[in-house]
Structure 1
């Protein structure tokens, strides 16, 4: 089965000389897509916590869905952690739109190997165009 997908690819070269490409999907199966901003602070473990922020992967509008998310925490106490997962289903908000709940445990890292717990709700939807 083929699903028509539209979007744009943006390439960049960072100051460190690395080259990357980002794909921004604007429609999936003929439906517009959207993403959500998410941010928060991890639990306090081993004497510190980390901040994090990101943008979920796009998902089709107008149907029940979840979003994948992935980000790296702030660099604190000599290390960072990776946060990745899948949000819960859409939760309607007054005035229109929706949010998603997310929660999980970071990857293990640090001089004293450990994880942090995180949880929160995304912001309202951001159009993918």
Structure 2
């Protein structure tokens, strides 16, 4: 019997397991009379399933004639009732155009 057997996997949701990432979308606090939007996707997790963090980095939106760079590590996972989780993050942008911005946010759920 020489049958070929195959499977096609189009999408797989991975939560609380190695290999997941998170989207994030927040705004900086106002500085120099304006703010910037920050959005992106985290790195893969570093650490164990239940105590891991994610690296993130990017460039803010172009507002008031300039952008800022940002980077950092999320906090540990915050569990949700359905078994998924999110992460909190905060930090400070680079100093550009004579000022910096602070930010704070939470990621979306793991996928």
Name the TM-score class by shorter chain.
0.7 to 0.9
Where in structure 2 are there 5+ consecutive unaligned residues?
Answer: 1-16
Q: Report runs of 4+ in structure 1 exceeding 3 Å deviation.
A: none
- In structure 2, distance between residues paired with 1:52 and 1:64: 25
The residue correspondences of 1:12-31 to structure 2 (distance < 5 A) are none
Alpha-carbon distance in structure 2 between the residues aligned to 1:46 and 1:86:
26
The whole-number CA distance in structure 1 between the counterparts of 2:29 and 2:107 is: 18
Structure holding more strand per residue = 1
Contact between 2:50 and 2:77, CA under 8 Å: does it hold in 1? no
RMSD: 1.5
Number of paired residues?
94
TM-score by length of structure 1 reads: 0.69
Shift of 1:94: 1.5
Q: CA deviation at 1:32?
A: 3.7
TM-score (norm 2): 0.79
CA distance in 2, matches of 1:103, 1:63: 20
Cα distance in 2 between the residues matched to 1:55 and 1:120: 13
Q: Which has the higher contact order (CA 8 A, sep 6+)?
A: 2
